[in-house]
Amino acid sequence: MSLQKTRINIKGKDFEVNSVKVGNVEMVVTEGFLRHVWVNDEWFTEVDDPEKIIGTLKKISPRPDYFTFIQRVPDGEPRFPYYRETESWAVLPVSSFDHWWKNQIKSEARNRARQAGKRGVVMKRPDFDDAFVEGMVDIFNETPVRQGKPFWHYGKDFETVKNQFSRYLFRESLIGAYYEDKLIGFIMLGNAGKFAVTGQIISKIKHRDKCPNNALIAEAIRVCEEKGIPYLCYTYWDERSLGGFKKKNGFERFDVPRYYVPLTVKGKVALSLNLHRGFKGMLPERLKNRLKDLRNRYYNKKSKGKDN
């Protein structure tokens, strides 16, 4: 079976990669010593028949070494017999905005959401027009460093942002936070069917005192209630600074299985030796956190040096 070329976006950059399609499921085939296959756009794609996919992948020449896929929220109980590891998502069950406001959100986050309105932040459901894109570019180019590391979208021009962020508008709801009629933050809320996902949530650092991110989360929950979406996912669960923000806004850890299926002898050996995790994946969690702290200090210091 021959491979096709497709373009994907990883960490804000476009790449041309090999892909293969089985039914409605498109998979990306990586290059390199250990070649693996993963589901393109996997947060939005259900894998109901992995055996059919595995059969197709074994016909590719040269054959990839292993195939990986996930079960999506709210399907946390393992359904397939393959080797699996746990992947943790930050998930908020949504029944109604009122229930979230009274029972799920912490008092500190509730107060910050109130403060946004009191300090002049206005929530809107904007169109993806030139004015919105210009606001995005302005936010992206505020600083080259966010959360202690180089920011993916810093330095992008109007056309690049418009092209990259217009691809999935068919499944996204736009939420904007405005101050004095200027965009200071936004969410591109993706509808994955069983849940919504904060594909992009960002706001201007200079307006952090106005708590726009808290107001954006609150508006995202209103959208979920309106559309009957039972879960809101804020990407992956973590215990560091962003994890604290998620907890205060009512998000919980939800574990889903990630499966790994060897397709070659090399793939089987690699999985048994945990080589699929890569160098970073094999480091102890404490050491990874220490290295992240050092990285954050380096880039924050570097960024402040440029400002001066």
Mean pLDDT of 254-272: 97
Q: What is the band of 308 on the pLDDT scale with cuts at 50, 70, 90?
A: very low
- Tell me the whole-structure pTM to 2 decimals: 0.88
pLDDT in tens, 217-252: 999 999 999 999 999 999 999 877 689 999 999 999
Over residues 94-120, the pLDDT tens digits come to: 999 999 999 999 999 999 999 999 999
Domains and CATH numbers, the chain: 4-86+257-307 (no CATH), 91-253 (3.40.630.30)
Asked if 47 and 69 count as a contact pair (C-beta separation under 8 A), the reply is yes
